[in-house]
Amino acid sequence: MEQAGTLVLGIETSCDETAAALVYRGADGRGEIVSNIVRSQIDEHAEFGGVVPEIAARSHVRWLDRIVARALGEGGRDLSEITAIAATAGPGLIGGLLVGLTSAKALAAAAARPLVAVNHLEAHVLTPRLIGQLDFPYLVLLISGGHTQFVAARGLGDYAVWGTTIDDAIGEAFDKVAKLLGLGLPGGPAVEAEALKGDASRFDFPRPLLGQKRLDFSLSGLKTAVRQAADELAPVGPGDIADLCAGFQAAVVEVVAARSAAALARFASEFPEVHPRLVVAGGVAANRAIAAALEKVTAVAGAGLVVPSPVLCGDNAAIVAWAGAERLAAGVTSGPEFAARARWPLDGAEMAVPG
Ligand code: KG4
Ligand code: ZN
């Protein structure tokens, strides 16, 4: 029997965002974001050209209590009104995960409320159910700075990873290309802005693994090709940078489009009675060239396309709270001994999570 509505406090500290949110899940399964506070640490890592784990962990320690207080305050709730506390327990940077999970355990103990340890990837995968009550099964393309995966979401806790990257994540490749061309962090938006000004046909960059049947990605060869082209031109001028970015982005777009078409074909053959839907998640979903290509691919395949808002695509705690609410509704909570884990593959995010 379905219980009454639940109000879940979510905590996210797996990378360089310190985030807390309140999400309400109605008895009918509808989600509502009550508050969603995200503090990016990007300025603290900028001078190092990437996320420094030690700095990230210290910053989470410094900010998390205040961010949680703001999430409660903006929602006009206090801890006694919360049904459960959900926190990302992995995968991610272990120092940050420990900060968030330990705080969540302390809050859960203080408020005598259940704890739900959440897999960060599952939080991204379940996002469309928060915003639109999407039924299983559906296909997810998760493209962020840390992850690149096709996931067939068959049910709650039932995920099949159909493809991943054998080297860099797509967002990471954007960030590395930005860095080698002297553009700022985060690299994705900077490369996209340059690409708009450039000529994509000037460089003939490789399309790694294109034409292969597997649904995996490989980005490091493409990144190396961009580096070599830049080295040959050195010193690169503004026009060169724009053309290099345009060529790089065009290669990524082509590979993402081809892989997505193949993944949708597999989905159609495995779930013939289901109207196929492709959900895009992760920070790279903000890229307009990639989004436009996915619109075409889904239209050709007769599939629906779901792109959550940029705030919900990037790392935030509302999606963690929602994953917690879904698990709670299914009767799954975690004991205080639940350990943070730097690695936690999505196909290991089973419902009976080990302690
Ligand atoms: O999901 P996210 O906020 O954080 C995690 O990595 O978990 O994603 C951030 C990544 C960064 O690598 C950033 O460069 C990339 O998403 N990104 C983009 C764009 N906006 C953000 N990549 C390409 N084009 C964009 N417009
Ligand atoms: Zn993420």
- Please tell me whether residues 103 and 202 are part of one structural domain: no
- Please tell me whether residues 14 and 82 are part of one structural domain: yes
Per-residue pLDDT tens digits for 58-116: 999 999 999 999 999 999 999 999 999 999 999 999 999 999 999 999 999 999 999 99
* CA 124 to centroid of ligand 2, rounded, Å: 7
Residues with CB under 5 A from ligand 2 (ion): 144, 315
Structural domain boundaries, residue 237: 137-308
Question: Got the DSSP string for 137-168?
Answer: PEEEEEESSS-EEEEEEEETTEEEEEEEBSS-
Per-residue pLDDT tens digits for 166-200: 999 999 999 999 999 999 878 999 999 999 999 99
Nearest CA to ligand 1 atom 18: 188
pLDDT band at 253 (very low <50, low <70, confident <90, very high): very high
- For the record, the structure tokens of 125 come out as 């995968």
Q: What is the pLDDT of residue 351?
A: 55
CATH of the domain at 114: 3.30.420.40
Cut 0.85: pTM above it: yes
- Please tell me whether residues 49 and 125 are part of one structural domain: yes
Q: Which atom of ligand 1 is nearest to the CA of 146?
A: 6
28 in any annotated domain: yes
- Please tell me whether residues 116 and 208 are part of one structural domain: no
pLDDT at 352 over 50: no
Query: Structural domain tally of the chain?
Result: 2
Strand order in the sheet with 304-306: 158-164, 148-155, 138-143, 277-281, 304-306
- Please tell me whether residues 255 and 141 are part of one structural domain: yes
- Please tell me whether residues 117 and 151 are part of one structural domain: no
pLDDT at 353 over 80: no
99 in any annotated domain: yes
Nearest CA to ligand 1 atom 14: 188
Q: Which residues of 15-51 are buried (b: 16+ CB within 10 A; e: fewer)?
A: bbbbbbbbbbbeeeeebebbbbbbbebeebbeeeeeb
Please give all residues whose beta carbon lies within 6 A of any atom in ligand 1, as ranges: 15, 144-146, 171-172, 174-175, 186-189, 192, 282-284, 286-287, 314-315
- Please tell me whether residues 223 and 275 are part of one structural domain: yes
86 in any annotated domain: yes
* CA 144 to centroid of ligand 1, rounded, Å: 5
1 in any annotated domain: no
Three-state SS at 306:
strand
- Please tell me whether residues 304 and 316 are part of one structural domain: no
- Please tell me whether residues 268 and 194 are part of one structural domain: yes
pLDDT band at 1 (very low <50, low <70, confident <90, very high): very low
- Please tell me whether residues 297 and 250 are part of one structural domain: yes
